[in-house]
Every structure is written in C-alpha cells, then in structure tokens.
Amino acid sequence: MSISITFEPSGISGVVAQGTYLIDAARRMGATLGAGCTAGKGDCPSCVISVKSGAELLSTPSAAEEKQLGNEYLVQSYRLACQTKLENRGEVVVMVSTVTPRRPEPVDTDAEVRKKFGELPLRKKLATLVQLEAITMSEAFDSAIEKPLAFGSKTFDALMNRARARANSVTPKK
C-alpha cells in the first residue's frame, strides 16, 4: 500500500510505501529536511515538521517526541520526522519547519529553590551567597553611577534650553 505525501513550502510530493518514516520519504524525494538529524534517535529538534493534513495517517507520538517537543507542540501537530511513520493509506501534507520550537525551561518554585539550597554542602552555600552578594553590589553600583549621569544630563539640557531661549529673545540692536 502506498501513501501520497507533500512537503511544503517546496511543493515536493510523491508516493511512498506504508511504514516509511517521514525523514526517509523526504530524503528519497529530495526535500530539504533534517540536516544534522541524528538518524532516528529523536534526541535533537533538527527534523521538526508541522503536519498540515493527514495526521491520522501517522504513527502516534513516540516517547522521544514527547520529551523533545512536549505536549504543547504535539497538540499543535508538530512532529519529529525521524520518529514519525506513515502508517495508513491516504494523503499527508507536512510543512518543513524553518523555526525549531523550543520547550520552555521549567521554572523552579520558591520551595524547590529553598530545598535545593538546603541540600547544598556548606562550602557551596557560602559560594552561592557570595555570588549573589556580588551580583547585588554590581547592580547597586550600576544604579548609583547612572543616577548622577542622568541628573547631569537633565541639568545640562535645562541650561542649554535657557541659553537658547535667551538668545532667541534678545533682538539685535540697529
């Protein structure tokens, strides 16, 4: 059984056998996809595609896709071509993605940060505190330097505006 597949935006299309991975179909047809893909391991996002139609003809998302893309992108029909198999007859249209979606980095809660800090050995705690203090001092110095410069700039502008006003108000003598 065969499946018709079209790669957008290039418009390259053709027919491939059932059970073919999208990355293999793209390479056989000459569609630019997956430069740098680690050949089916699913541990990089270089072969990300967006399924425009025919998603029901494809294999279910693999664990590698769930890890690499996350649910938010899988729901939006993003897939890894090296992990996606053409399983059923029909027509599939995919968009070769030029932008790789990135999963947002998980943000630690206050309680998690406190717990991690509490688990650190004493030396690491001290080093972290010194590092935070250095950052705070640097930001304070930056702020202290900026304020007088801003004040000086405003004062200079005010003096220049007065001088211009005086120069414009003085009429030349005849």
DSSP 25-94: HHHHHT----TT--TT---SSTTEEEEEE-GGGBPPPPHHHHHHH-HHHHHTTEEETTT-BB-SSEEEEE
> What average pLDDT score do residues 32-47 get?
71
Residue indicated by tokens 């599939």 = 92
CA 98, 103, 106 angle in degrees (round to 5)?
Answer: 160
Domain-located, residue 17: yes
Domain-located, residue 86: yes
- Taking only the tens place, the pLDDT of each residue in 3-18 is 899 988 888 888 998 8
CA distance 120 to 111: 15
Domain-located, residue 103: no
8 A C-beta contact, residue 33 and residue 26: yes
Amino acid at 101: P
- The two tokens of residue 156 are 């200079």
Task: Clarify whether residues 137 and 159 are in a common domain.
Answer: yes
Domain-located, residue 174: no
8 A C-beta contact, residue 21 and residue 12: no
> What average pLDDT score do residues 62-68 get?
85
Task: Clarify whether residues 56 and 117 are in a common domain.
Answer: no
- The two tokens of residue 81 are 């071509």
> What average pLDDT score do residues 60-72 get?
85
Number of domains in the chain: 2
Task: Clarify whether residues 42 and 71 are in a common domain.
Answer: yes
Q: Among 37-41, 65-69, 90-94, 116-120, whose mean pLDDT is lowest?
A: 37-41
Task: Clarify whether residues 77 and 134 are in a common domain.
Answer: no
For the entire predicted model, the pTM comes to: 0.54
Residue 72's domain comprises: 2-96
